[in-house]
Amino acid sequence: MSIRVKVDEDLPRQVADLFSERGHDAMTVVMQGWQGFTDAALWPRVQQEQRWLVTADKGFADLRVYPPGSHADVLLFRLDEESRRGYLELTQTALDRLSFEELTGSIIVVTRRGIRIRKP
């Protein structure tokens, strides 16, 4: 199943490329000129487009603010030390291991240690 994703500005553009290579509709915040937007300004725009938000901003994983089932999905990448290569590896892990069609409205956290999923 193909999904629509919006890659946040805190991740390398190549994350969107990896999603596109797998047949997903991937856009970046930068491609749309949305860089520098606050979370509060970015969130409704991404939701209006009904896209998954792919980000490293752990604020979007706050279940009190973004409870599962109240939004399109959030895919959060967490690294102990940020690096382009690390984010690309986490992207590959997510693409290889997740069944996106089963995760509507979820918050998914991908780390080198594994994947945590909060479903509605």
Largest distance between two CA atoms of the chain:
34
Tens digits of residue pLDDT in 16-56: 999 999 999 999 999 999 999 999 999 999 999 999 999 99
Tens digits of residue pLDDT in 99-116: 998 898 999 999 999 999
Q: For the domain bounded by 4-118, which CATH number is listed?
A: 3.40.50
Measured from the Cβ of residue 101, the count of other Cβ atoms closer than 10 Å reads: 9
- According to the model, what pLDDT value does residue 101 have? 83
Which residues are CB-contacts of 47 (< 8 A; sequence separation ≥ 6)?
A: 71, 72
